[in-house]
Structure 1
């Protein structure tokens, strides 16, 4: 059985086998490990140069055959996870190493995910970059909108930075829908560290009709 993915505009729908999907996820996981190791390595210069040459060769190998876009998950995935009931979850950025991976658990009008940020996510010393915090909130709120089965776009995202969000400590990310009116929906989200909220967000989402309006 294969799973259909929806690529970006102008590309052809691809059938991805479970084996290929698993291989892609494992490859991206390994790349994230390399990114972190490269960012914090304290090896001697000669060892870093040797690693650079090895990675350049890996890049050449991977680049022998490429798509135009990263593999994208089906739009209906979050709604299916929600329909699965309590315990249903949806993985985000499984195929994109630049995205911060999340396993988002959906339940009714709410969602939850856990994350331990590392050195790659640093902004101020030892703290999560504010832009990453905003991106995480947009993801938490946006997937919740997607789980409703409505194609929506973020119209506005308001943030309140309450405290610095520390690195290397478990975080809990939550979101919930607070208002729906016609094509408009409002959702709130927040990041907690050991029970203390460090960031709050409020987003307005507009459903996009089939005619693009």
Structure 2
């Protein structure tokens, strides 16, 4: 965040509002898949949600314009679907450094269900992709996912604390091999999901082709300086 001459944070209120909306929507999503109220109540709630959607839709940014609250140079991505406080799809994960890699803990509700009472396997892939990218970022190795594979050794239970870890295993030129795991927080040595990913720094011409239309919130051409979606990592300070 930037500060003005008074030392205040100009975007503190918009950021707090976005985080508040994200939290409220997460609660709504979880309730929407677990509620057993009468159909009339469900329809009444749907009408309220549509009213809120109409209020929010009067001013929108195009996908090619970065949110005003984001700062890709520092990794602040408020609406990232895994770590973004403002994104209702995100749990959200808070990623922090740990020894030679990164770690995050999360408890997933029924909204993330695949097999009854267990986490959808695709969610594991989403979270692992994010965490592997964060491990690359923590090591100063920017890039985009070129290959991702997962081994599912056991199902992940819902409403149970999970621990996710990732670290850079190999690095050569523009390519990095990154590995990660998911386990129960209470049994971290028994790996339930194992991931391996190859991350590649695109050549300059690819960066221009992928991100040439990206602008900042003011509409100024602002291609990312480090391709990928690695978000801010808590250094524990």
State the match for 2:124 in structure 1: 133
Q: Give the SS at the match of 2:122.
A: helix
Pair 1:95-2:92 in alignment: no
Higher RCO (C-alpha 8 Å, min separation 6)? 2
Unaligned runs of 5+ in 2: 4-9, 77-81, 208-237
Report the counterpart of residue 79 of structure 2 in structure 1. none
- The residue number in structure 1 matching 2:225 is none
1:64-117 deviation per Cα after TM superposition (whole angstroms, max 9, x unaligned): 1111237374333359xxxxxxxxxxx822222223410000245400000001
When residues 73 and 142 of structure 1 are mapped into structure 2, their CA distance, relative to the original with a 3 A threshold, is farther
- The aligned counterpart of 2:71 is 74
Separation of aligned partners in 1, 2:147 and 2:91: 21
1:144 Cα offset (Å): 1.7
Q: Does 1:211 align with 2:205?
A: yes
Aligned to 2:176: 185
TM-score by length of 2: 0.74
* Number of corresponding residues: 191
Using structure 1 for the length normalisation, give the TM-score: 0.81
Q: Partners in 1 of 2:38 and 2:176 — Cα distance?
A: 53
Task: Assess if the C-alpha contact under 8 Å between 1:118 and 1:167 holds in 2.
Answer: yes
Q: Which structure has more strand as a fraction of its residues?
A: 1
- Name the SS for the 1:77 alignment partner: coil
Please, which runs of 5 or more residues in structure 1 have no aligned partner?
A: 4-15, 80-90
* Cα distance, 1:146–1:75 mapped onto 2, change above 3 Å: farther
Q: 1:158 to 1:95 in 2, by over 3 A?
A: same
Give the Cα–Cα distance (whole angstroms) in 2 for the partners of residues 200 and 168 of structure 1: 20
Structure 1 residue 34 and structure 2 residue 28: aligned?
yes
